[in-house]
Homo-oligomer: A and B are copies of this chain.
Amino acid sequence: MEVLILGAAGMVGQKLLNKLIIKKSINGREIKKLKLFDIVKAPFPDDVNFEVEIITGDISKKEISEKLVSSKPEIIFHLAAIVSGQAEEEFDLGWNINTKGSWGLFESIRELGDDYKPRLVFTSSIAVFGAPFPEKIPDDFFTTPLTSYGAQKAISELLLADYSRKGMVDGISIRLPTICVRPGEPNLAASGFFSGIIREPLNGIEARLPVSTSVRHWHASPRSAAGFLLHAAEIDTKKLNNRINLSMPGLSATVEEQIEALRKVAGEETVKLIKHEIDPKIDNIVQGWARDLDTTRAMELGFKAENNFEEIIKVYIEDDLNK
């Protein structure tokens, strides 16, 4: 079986890749080839025992999406995206990659005809929701995004749902919580500080906190994110009854609770490395984000995440610290 990952060079793409390398199969079907796409060359370990093809390019170009699906991969993970902060600044770039890119991919699949209907797992985001919302956002809450990124994800969801309803692809969209703790360097996402205030102190570096400590947000670890993706590839999509957009389980925590968990896991000296300097632009974006979700539907379908923030910190220490 061939598996295609779009956005394979990204952090979650890499976590998924490593999970697939260990698991070697999806739904009992052996992975024979991995096709890894991103704007830059996706890294992969030397000791992989199946074929790997690396493709780079711009997903908003139709010839790229055609090339990606021409070999008819059975499973497609679509994680390629411009992150929220950048999509808000660069309007055209965000729409081109995050919406036209997805649409072009779905079209390229459709053009291959009726005998090709791959499972397509699309990574959406809780940024499809915009404030004000109820304390817990239910599964049937409307999408009123307050960022272009959120609008681009919500539109890709609707496109995938219609192409799936029409039998052109076997799609499922999973709305990821903010992934925390992200390993490595900060990225351009407005949500970056949620990881930074844990990651930097654990690495002995100062971290900047640009929002109030009372900000409540919705988190899951990179390990959980890779787990969601794999589960979405294996699930029986008939159970979704045409409602293919699912909010993934996560953990609702305030920044204060994050800091408290860090104190318990790593001590007071580590916490002192967090410097509080409000950035009104980031603060404004984050005020419009989801704080807590009711994800009954996803949990009933077998998706799982962490239960407290200490767990999330421990996953980072186990999987990523000093690696």
Contacts and interface: CB of A to CB of B under 8 A. Distances in A.
Interface of A: 91, 130, 140-146, 148, 151, 154-155, 158-159, 161-162, 165-166, 242-243, 245
B142 A142 contact: yes
A243 B151 CA distance: 13
15 contacts: A140-B142, A143-B158, A144-B161, A144-B245, A145-B158, A145-B162, A146-B165, A146-B242, A151-B158, A151-B161, A151-B162, A154-B158, A155-B155, A155-B159, A158-B158
A162 B148 contact: yes
Nearest to A154: B158
Given A91-B166, A144-B245, 6 more contacts: A130-B242, A143-B158, A144-B243, A148-B162, A151-B161, A154-B158
Contacts of A142: 140-143
Contacts of A151: 158-159, 161-162
State the majority secondary structure of interface residues on A.
mixed
Contacts of A91: 166
Contacts of A145: 158, 161-162
A278 to B, nearest CB: 23
Contacts of A166: 91, 148
A243 B146 CA distance: 9
A82 to B, nearest CB: 14
A142 B140 CA distance: 5
A216 B231 CA distance: 39
Nearest to A133: B140
Contacts of A162: 145, 148, 151
Nearest to A243: B144
A212 to B, nearest CB: 22
A154 B165 CA distance: 15
Contacts of A242: 130, 144, 146
Contacts of A158: 143, 145, 151, 154-155, 158
Contacts of A143: 142-143, 158
Contacts of A141: 140, 142
A140 B155 CA distance: 17
Nearest to A241: B132
A143 to B, nearest CB: 7
Contacts of A144: 161, 242-243, 245
In the A-B complex, the 7 residue pairs with the smallest Cβ-Cβ separation, listed nearest first, are A151-B162, A140-B142, A142-B142, A151-B158, A155-B155, A155-B158, A144-B243
A141 B144 CA distance: 11
Contacts of A243: 144
Contacts of A165: 146
